[in-house]
Structure 1
């Protein structure tokens, strides 16, 4: 969320309404984001509207909603309206410097035959285990707790209820044990008692609270993350193609690691970096911690996106297989990253942002979009990375250190600009074949 405007944060909806009723308000918010109430029925006996019931106005909202937090953005940054410099956002003091990109040498040619060897299929054991047996591969006896009276089967039942509550959501988990037809869950009631579940919930810890790393926002769960990553890696099938991307876990509560990403299907929640195989098997995951993220010193000069890819490449190096092929989107891709991966004998392909190809001879997206569909251009950067840009439903740019442009082939695509539902013939470059359609 932008730090524009003079509104103090955090604000509740009730406080914001009071601020807007003042006569001296000169900077009305351009946008208001209202967080969901934590629990509309937890601390109050009713969810009826506030205020006089005979006078219906927009301010008469339920108490739970009025106490929900809001974030506001004003149309202008009226710095003179701040009470003091201490209340100003840091963005008003920081001088933003444009990032200087390296100039690459370009030539109008295709990528030469690469020195990468072909992937040799590695025989892997087929998984014929039951779902429960497969689950126990990842949550096994290695994850021990302090001495207590909780049996391993009870802990498995507890985890099972947590998983069930993810796709059978109720306002409160204890409602699974209520004697009501609309909430009672027979499966849960027969597996574990309510009091036993609450007892485990109140005593379960993944880390020693006296030894937490204050620089790590996920320190309380870090041992669990490390064990799961170890297990994911141990049982990962041996495959050539790996995908690296971000994944959002929805969450509306309070936590310093919560992220807001505008325009995404899941805007609020935890963001994780994910390394996965073709069918979705997760090999590695790591939570993103926002501005407090500490990049490895050896990768700091490459930036955040490249650092995530290179850390995942370090993990793959320990698998003792050669010639992996990594795929990622334009958040991660840069010419420098692809060149670095080639030095490591790792193939890589990804979509590319136009501003990460400085001073290239390729046409700008706005120019290319005016041409007929299927038109493409390509260029070779530093004799190591080929970049193709073509006009599809939108202008697409893709870069690769392993795939060649030619040969191209003719494909039939739906033409949304045609007056009738027809297909259009388009030429696709070889490097474009690496991107899923």
Structure 2
């Protein structure tokens, strides 16, 4: 393929795939696509885009319809055969121009000599010098509130409460009626459906029907007794959380927007009071077809939906928003002129400041989001901010270039102050394995610490200098990555054809991860696996189908999680005598929920008190 970087016309997905397949080895090495973004086809919000054309139990990336193959794509390409890079400035107005157009000859620029649009704008607003005083912000005071020791199910139901379950039940029944099926799904069945999804995260089987198979190696009695296979399939087929007659045509995630709005409100309401928050992107795996599905090279999850996420230092997700394209109304809003990355950060600050107007915060973000203009706006709002920054966004910064600084000793750093009428920013470059640039409106290089690194040249550990804002960034930036790691450990493994099903299951995973974070903050000692098991077991035992009539089978389940929940424990008479689960004497009464023989007076009470 000749002149990858010099295409003038936009490409369709089909054209791009043909060009990639025709690349030889040398061309593939010299012309590397950095990012590929699939743009929506003309039928982006039609009903027939709801299904993946592949099999439910297999994951393929080739199940694309003709409408998607004809749709345009945005690409960013790197020519590794030369010293130049085809680049686009993520902070400029070029965010609104497709990358397939920006990859023309006019955007083929040198890496350092040419200044980006951010450099052009900030050079006029900031004055660079070596000495200045950073703005003093109000100190964070953590509020003191009551500490509650909630059960795992109670914490999960802070987010997936009765209102959310009723929402799912109502719209699922409406969609079933629309398809001429009986709309008789109950809230208890929705609970059992969610419980089965949670259980599939830590008990994985190749096919979901195997949970109901009569086979010792795969049968799951907890799921099979709670909900039948056909009923589970029926709910999964009709699962909805909105009315299809009132979809917002400009919102590509309109089918899940009511659920997302409800969870965002609850995540923010029960968010722990923290001083530091971080903003980053997260990927939700999806291999079907949808106009917002993206490919991001170098990510653990390369194909799927991209979310903007705001989280605490330990990983509690405070706010999330799916990415719909740079031109989407949900991404532009009132921050269009600042670029996509800064706009995301400012939208997050709007959310947390509206919720907690009297508290101060410190935000951390990576070089995709950071610009000098963003830090200037945060200073005006009284919010502290620290982030890594790309070198071409620093304008005429007097600090040495990264190439020159890398020639110096390891641990060397240089800094400068950028002042404007409204703020003072501290910019620092530090030479470690690579040169990293960090900018902050509150932190500086002092105090300089000593950190241990291994020297390949000396074959031993050495001590090098590390500025204070580098340590602060490393300690507080990983919240979104922590939440991704926690969710990925026991992610719902049941897969469906609907494009929005991974989004609903991811919402369940996020809620459990946040509930577990609250459990740890309250002093709980359960690890995440035990926490998820407690939720799944409690839901399936509490909301399961009524047992069949006849002589009850002896229970092999200790009901460790639902025994003390004080929900639906009813004493009933049984014809055959059994042993009391509390005093072990003969009894003709049992707890209908626990299916354990109990004397109705004292033993029933003692058995259900922890």
Taking a change above 3 Å as real, the CA distance of residues 125 and 293 of structure 1, as seen in their structure-2 partners, is: farther
Q: Is structure 2 residue 322 aligned with structure 1 residue 301?
A: no
The answer to whether the 8 A contact 1:106-1:360 is kept is yes
How far the C-alpha of 1:111 sits from its partner, in A, is 3.7
| Matching residue within 106, 117, 131 for 2:128 | 106
* Partner residue in 2 for 1:230: 265
Q: TM-score, normalised by structure 2?
A: 0.58
* Partner residue in 1 for 2:462: 424
CA distance in 2, matches of 1:396, 1:91: 27
Q: Is structure 2 residue 252 aligned with structure 1 residue 208?
A: no
How far the C-alpha of 1:180 sits from its partner, in A, is 3.3
Q: Is structure 2 residue 227 aligned with structure 1 residue 192?
A: yes
CA distance in 2, matches of 1:3, 1:393: 30
Unaligned runs of 5+ in 1: 21-25, 43-63, 77-88
Taking a change above 3 Å as real, the CA distance of residues 8 and 238 of structure 1, as seen in their structure-2 partners, is: closer
CA distance in 1, matches of 2:274, 2:446: 25
CA distance in 2, matches of 1:359, 1:372: 24
* Partner residue in 2 for 1:262: 297
| Matching residue within 352, 368, 372 for 2:389 | 352
TM-superposition CA deviations, 1:120-149 (whole Å, max 9, x none) = 121134352111111111111222243753
The answer to whether the 8 A contact 1:37-1:67 is kept is no
TM-superposition CA deviations, 1:167-187 (whole Å, max 9, x none) = 444443223212234433222
Taking a change above 3 Å as real, the CA distance of residues 12 and 389 of structure 1, as seen in their structure-2 partners, is: closer
Taking a change above 3 Å as real, the CA distance of residues 432 and 115 of structure 1, as seen in their structure-2 partners, is: same
How big is the alpha-carbon RMSD for the aligned residues of Structure 1 and Structure 2? 3.6
Query: What pairs up with 1:262-411 in 2 under 5 angstroms?
Result: 262-294=297-329, 295-318=331-354, 319-382=356-419, 384-409=424-449, 411=450
Q: Which has the higher contact order (CA 8 A, sep 6+)?
A: 2
The answer to whether the 8 A contact 1:251-1:269 is kept is yes
SS in structure 2 at match of 1:200: helix
The answer to whether the 8 A contact 2:388-2:437 is kept is yes
How far the C-alpha of 1:297 sits from its partner, in A, is 4.0
Q: Is structure 2 residue 189 aligned with structure 1 residue 154?
A: yes
| Matching residue within 43, 54, 58 for 1:38 | 54
The answer to whether the 8 A contact 1:348-1:400 is kept is yes
How far the C-alpha of 1:366 sits from its partner, in A, is 0.9
SS in structure 2 at match of 1:298: coil
CA distance in 2, matches of 1:28, 1:377: 44
TM-superposition CA deviations, 1:195-236 (whole Å, max 9, x none) = 111222222211111111122111100000000000001100
| Matching residue within 159, 179, 187 for 1:138 | 159
How far the C-alpha of 1:244 sits from its partner, in A, is 0.7
The answer to whether the 8 A contact 1:323-1:346 is kept is yes
Q: TM-score, normalised by structure 1?
A: 0.79
SS in structure 1 at match of 2:335: helix
CA distance in 1, matches of 2:465, 2:360: 29
How far the C-alpha of 1:414 sits from its partner, in A, is 1.8
CA distance in 2, matches of 1:11, 1:171: 35
* Partner residue in 2 for 1:434: 472
Give the length in aligned residue pairs: 390
CA distance in 2, matches of 1:100, 1:239: 32
How far the C-alpha of 1:108 sits from its partner, in A, is 0.8
The answer to whether the 8 A contact 1:39-1:171 is kept is no
How far the C-alpha of 1:264 sits from its partner, in A, is 1.5
How far the C-alpha of 1:333 sits from its partner, in A, is 0.7
CA distance in 1, matches of 2:60, 2:162: 44
TM-superposition CA deviations, 1:102-127 (whole Å, max 9, x none) = 20310012543x32121112113435
The answer to whether the 8 A contact 1:272-1:285 is kept is yes
CA distance in 2, matches of 1:27, 1:119: 56
Q: Is structure 2 residue 435 aligned with structure 1 residue 414?
A: no
CA distance in 2, matches of 1:109, 1:416: 33
Q: Which 10-residue stretch deviates more, 192-201 or 372-381?
A: 192-201
The answer to whether the 8 A contact 1:352-1:397 is kept is yes
The answer to whether the 8 A contact 2:57-2:207 is kept is no
